[in-house]
Amino acid sequence: MEEVTLYILQESLFSFEDLIQIHSKDRLPIFFSALDLRPYAKELRSRSPRGAGGHCREGILRALLAAPLEHIQTFTGLHHRLETDLRFRYQCGLSLDREAPSIATLSRVFADLTKKNLAKQLFDDLVKRCRQEGVIDGSHVAIDSAAIHAYEEKKPKRKSEQTGNANWGAKFDSFGNKVTWFGYKLHLAVDTQSELPLALEVTPAHVNDGEMAPGLIKTVTAETDVKFFMLDAGYDQMKVYEAARNVKAQAIVPLNPRGEKEPPAGMSTNGTPCCSMGFAMTYWGADDDVLKFRCPHATGKVDCPLGMTACSSSNYGMVVKVDVKDDLRRYSSPHRDTKRWKELYNERTSVERCNSRMKTHLTADSLHVWGIQKVTTHQYLNAIVLLVSALSVTGKKNKIAV
């Protein structure tokens, strides 16, 4: 008991790393304490007299969720663990006086989970609960995609495009190297404060990131008000800015130099007006959608040979105002390159850390199912583990505090 308490008392909003460091025999009761799977298990009950071996559906569902947390990658591995580890089987709520669920039974329940879309339903319910309990804030959201390698046999690109499942994808890594893979993309929208997933989509690997962002933006804002969406330069597309604007949010996206057109006359690439002498003007705040810029000589940013007299008779210097709505892509509130804009963009790393947890500590990139629907269920189970981990650790902290 003392060992468990030491981990849980650490100060952290989301202590997934704390949870996975706890020994399995102590971790699983904490994890399952935050879950009531009865409504979902009820939907999995078979009306066939043969059923899925007559095993408790709630117990099998628990086992399917415990598998990513225990880094069990296959139904074979899960069956073996249930068969040989009686404590694990008991903690999953499965009977000890009969054989463990077979590989076929586990696979059949997983297929039923997929067919009835129950993993998504459980995920959505948990996101809502995390919001209600203050675990998720949701006002700042980061969006990105991650490569997921397929279990299917590799196929030529032309053939794989016809299936709507695994395909060839390519991305540039942080060093500018082109990386290719055969499989899928996991598109994630993540709360930047808690680093927890809010929405996800799975697509074949060749699907462009920018195509998926508007849908994720719409999904996230259906339940909560979002102020900012942080995305990398791969999402620098007008449809992304418009999607954020439609829900009264601001997309924080670096301008992608590839395919960049010349900026409007008298305007720098990042949307800063230039004075008559060609100097970039000084950003001086915003009033809702209107950005204000002042003479750079008046603000001490440059030493203009003509001073302020050539542009304005006022001691305040020339002022230019720009409406963000005139060009949603080039103009941003807060203005690009300001300290505030950079602070917001830096929050984008939260989605990278979420992706890393799902792929490194869980089993998001260890597929042993094929077909995009089953792969999507697999990703939802991994995302559910993150949400439940946060709820269980937070709940345990609250109990201890009381």
pLDDT digits (tens, 9 = 90+) for 26-71: 889 999 999 999 999 999 876 554 444 577 899 999 999 999 999 9
The model's confidence at residue 91, banded by pLDDT at 50, 70 and 90, is: very high
Domain ranges of the chain: 2-122+373-401, 137-256+347-371, 262-335
Convert the pLDDT of each residue in 311-369 to its tens digit: 877 788 889 999 999 999 999 999 998 999 999 999 999 999 999 999 999 999 999 99
**Using one digit for the tens of pLDDT, what is the confidence trace for 201-237?**
999 999 999 999 999 999 999 988 999 999 999 999 9
Nearest 5°: the CA angle 352, 8, 68 is 50
Question: Residues 126-161: pLDDT tens digits?
Answer: 999 999 999 999 999 999 999 999 988 887 866 656
- d(Cα 392, Cα 69) in Å, to the nearest integer? 13
**Residue 172: both structure tokens together:** 């540039």
Band (305; pLDDT cuts 50, 70, 90): confident
Of 103-112, 134-143, 258-267, which gets the smallest average pLDDT? 258-267
Predicted pLDDT at 396: 53
Model confidence at 259, pLDDT cuts 50, 70, 90, reads low
Contact 88, 28 (CB under 8 A): yes
Residue 185 binned pLDDT confidence (cut-offs 50, 70, 90): very high
Report the sign of the C-alpha dihedral through residues 39, 193, 28, 111, in that order: positive
**pLDDT-based confidence at 268, cuts 50/70/90?**
confident
- pTM higher than 0.85: yes
Please check whether residue 167 is in contact with residue 182, taking contact to mean a CB–CB distance below 8 angstroms.
Answer: yes
Q: Which residue has the higher pLDDT, 307 or 88?
A: 88
DSSP code per residue over 22-83: S-HHHHHHHHHTT---HHHHHHH---SSSTTTT--HHHHHHHHHHHHHTT--SHHHHHHHHH
pLDDT of residue 15: 67
Please tell me the predicted confidence (pLDDT) of residue 17: 78
- Kindly report which listed range (32-46, 84-98, 374-388) carries the lowest average pLDDT score: 32-46
pLDDT tens profile 158-181 = 665 656 789 999 887 767 788 899
Average pLDDT for 285-292: 91
Mean pLDDT of the chain, nearest integer? 87
CATH number of the structural domain 137-256+347-371: 3.30.420
- Residue 398 pLDDT class (50, 70, 90 cuts): very low
Q: What is the pLDDT of residues 2-36, one digit of tens each?
A: 333 333 333 344 567 778 778 778 889 999 999 99
- CA distance linking residue 214 with residue 231, whole number of Å: 12
Distance CA 68, CA 58 (A): 17
Q: Where are the beta strands (DSSP E) in 86-222?
A: 140-149, 167-172, 178-191, 196-204
Distance CA 250, CA 345 (A): 11
Q: Rounded CA gap, 183 and 165, in Å? A: 8
